[in-house]
Amino acid sequence: MKTMIIMMSLMMSSLFPTMKNPLSMGFTLLVQTGLSCLLNGMNNYSYWFSYLLFITYIGGMMVLFIYMASIASNMKFKFSIKLMIMMMIMTMMLMMVSMTDNTLMNENNMNEFINYELTAKNNNKEMLSIMKMFNMPTMMITIMLIIYLLFTMISIIKITNKKEGPLRTKN
């Protein structure tokens, strides 16, 4: 499963430079972020950190989407034959790689995986693995990031004038 997600992520990365429309680029970035959050969630005990990362990214992408939709509203999508052929070849390669990966089908590996899952659920250290971000070595970086975001928000609020409305006015 992880190899398939990594291969799909590589496929999205290779398709990104071929995109010409900003909306299709944004969609490609959105799919790429979803795949990386899914992979990150599989590596951790819980998915909450991946969920927060995805929600934060969606918030930023909404601003870019609104901006690009107002600028390039009449731009049409053009489907390239080369791009479609390249995507079909990459999808076939992805399917072949996922079919030839028989490590999960091996019975010994499956039993080891089940035993690992049972011990991970019973281990309190695994349940608190997300707390690494708030423990001592990385706590200062997290606090500095929170303070930086607070100051950025306050400065943006002070820059904008409430009486004039949005930053960009319609002409």
| Exposed e or buried b per residue across 25-56, where buried means at least 16 C-beta atoms within 10 angstroms of its C-beta | bbebbbebbbbbbbbebeeebeeebbeeebee
Give me the residue spans of the domains in the chain: 2-103+121-159
Instruction: Give per-residue pLDDT as tens, 120-129.
Output: 555 555 555 5
99 or 111: which carries more pLDDT confidence? Answer: 99
Name the pLDDT band for 101 (thresholds 50, 70, 90).
low
User: What's the angle, vertex CA 69, arms to CA 83 and CA 165, rounded to 5?
Assistant: 160
Instruction: Give per-residue pLDDT as tens, 28-64.
Output: 888 898 988 888 888 777 788 888 888 988 888 888 8
Which of 76, 79, 52, 64 has the alpha carbon at shortest distance from 26?
A: 64
CA 37/CA 79 separation, integer angstroms: 28
Side chain identity, residue 24: S
